[in-house]
Amino acid sequence: MGSAPVALRWDEPPEGPVIVLLDQRRLPAEEVELVCTDVPALIDAIRTLAVRGAPLLGVAGAYGLALAAVRGFDVEEAAEMLSAARPTAVNLAYGVGRALTAYRASLAGGAGPEGAWRAALAEARALHREDAQASARMAEQGLELLKELLPGGGFRLLTHCNTGALVSGGEGTALAVAGAAHRIGELRRLWVDETRPLLQGARLTAYEAARAGMPYTLLTDNAAGSLFSAGEVDAVVIGADRIAADGSVANKVGSYPLAVLARYHHVPFLVVAPTTTVDLTTADGGAIEVEQRPALEVTEFPGGMPGEVPGRAVAPLGTQAYNPAFDITPPELVTAIVTENGIVSPVTKTGLAELCARSRSGNGMMSI
């Protein structure tokens, strides 16, 4: 079994502190590090998905704030720019907000610039550690829930996008649950949606599943219906980018159709996400901003991502494309939301606000 990839680290070479990313745009073909020495480079990495996935975006945002401070950027302006780099995953603004609050408090307490950037860095490191701990708790609780829902064991799980170690300081969210099932010999099959247009499933989840030795099979997103109708899926496990106060879930586009299929076929639809992904200030799914991405990602294959080698055109030049990065699954289609603090479901009746209150108080825009 291969070791989990390290998606992000802070480094302090003699030339000055940097954020080192495993460049996810190049996986699985190449394992290449991308070194960000300044805030614009990090913002570009976030926009072009060199670093991605809700929990890791939070961690990247917090380290980004520390980088801004140590590299002499206008920290307040950097905080705004970093938070706005991608709009849907609430963790990004949350992570930036936490490091900014630590930075401001340090300055207000009389620290100089060195003390203030170190305070921001300490907060980023704390968030990174907490994320790893949350990941382990979600894996445990998600596994327990699967055992309850599917007492026969031998789970055949369908997942979408990428929710593993590449998006976390730990093993991730939904993929961490699959990993926990695999370790006890109960993962019969991991069905991996390729996740058009940027192929996070094919490129990244398959990469992680292979490294972990999981029994996995890749499918095109539009093959999922046949798989359900053949009775081959026991549960859907996905992550989330933002969960509104009413339990609506924003996640990678293609999640909502899976929830509809799961309901039709009486299959549990499980969302695995840390409480840092819950945004109690957003009332419902309609209030979640869904990121729209360039047409090129759809009209070229495999996804003409900025900074990448040009893709191959699969549509006539000038074709318009509808390319929302996320969709919204309404709460009535969600069987349960698994967090590090517990599970919200029609069965437990525990509210999201109660689970969030079990974490330390949030900063910035989060009301947790």
Ligand X SMILES: CSC[C@@H](O)[C@@H](O)C(=O)COP(=O)(O)O
Q: Which residues are annotated as a binding site for substrate?
A: 52-54, 86, 200, 251-252
Catalytic residue among 241, 246, 284, 327: 241
Distance, in Å, from the CA atom of 91 to the CA atom of 275, rounded to the nearest integer, reads 10
The three-state secondary structure class of 270 is strand
Distance, in Å, from the CA atom of 333 to the CA atom of 238, rounded to the nearest integer, reads 13
241 is catalytic: yes
Least CB distance to ligand X at residue 220 (A) = 18
Residue in the shown chain whose Cβ atom is closest to ligand X: 239
Minimum CB distance to ligand X smaller for 98 or for 252: 252
Candidates 241, 279, 297, 340; binder of ligand X (CB under 6 A) is 241
Candidates 22, 23, 55, 214; binder of ligand X (CB under 6 A) is 55
Distance, in Å, from the CA atom of 56 to the CA atom of 275, rounded to the nearest integer, reads 14
Could you say whether residue 288 binds ligand X (CB under 6 A)?
Answer: no
Type of residue numbered 307: G
Residues 142-161 contacting ligand X, CB under 6 A? 161
Least CB distance to ligand X at residue 72 (A) = 29
CA neighbor of 234 nearest in space, from 201, 200, 199, 186: 186
Stretch that binds ligand X, among 10-18, 47-55, 70-78, 316-324 (CB under 6 A): 47-55
Minimum CB distance to ligand X smaller for 54 or for 67: 54
Question: Which residues define the annotated binding site?
Answer: 52-54, 86, 200, 251-252
Distance, in Å, from the CA atom of 160 to the CA atom of 175, rounded to the nearest integer, reads 10
Distance, in Å, from the CA atom of 128 to the CA atom of 87, rounded to the nearest integer, reads 21
Could you say whether residue 251 binds ligand X (CB under 6 A)?
Answer: yes
Could you say whether residue 271 binds ligand X (CB under 6 A)?
Answer: no
- Whether the CB-CB separation of 272 and 177 falls below 8 Å is answered with yes
Total residues contacting ligand X by CB under 6 A comes to 18
Candidates 178, 252, 267, 299; binder of ligand X (CB under 6 A) is 252
Candidates 200, 248, 323, 345; binder of ligand X (CB under 6 A) is 200
Question: Cis link prior to 257 (omega < 30° from 0)?
Answer: no
CA neighbor of 305 nearest in space, from 22, 6, 24: 24
Residues 24-43 contacting ligand X, CB under 6 A? none
CA neighbor of 142 nearest in space, from 279, 340, 359: 340
Candidates 7, 54, 96, 355; binder of ligand X (CB under 6 A) is 54
**206: Cα within 13 Å, side-chain hemisphere:** 17
- Whether the CB-CB separation of 230 and 196 falls below 8 Å is answered with no
Scanning the structure block, which residue is given the tokens 């006539």? 316
Give the footprint of ligand X on this chain (CB under 6 A).
49, 52-55, 89, 161, 163, 167, 172-173, 200, 239-241, 251-252, 325
Residues designated catalytic: 241
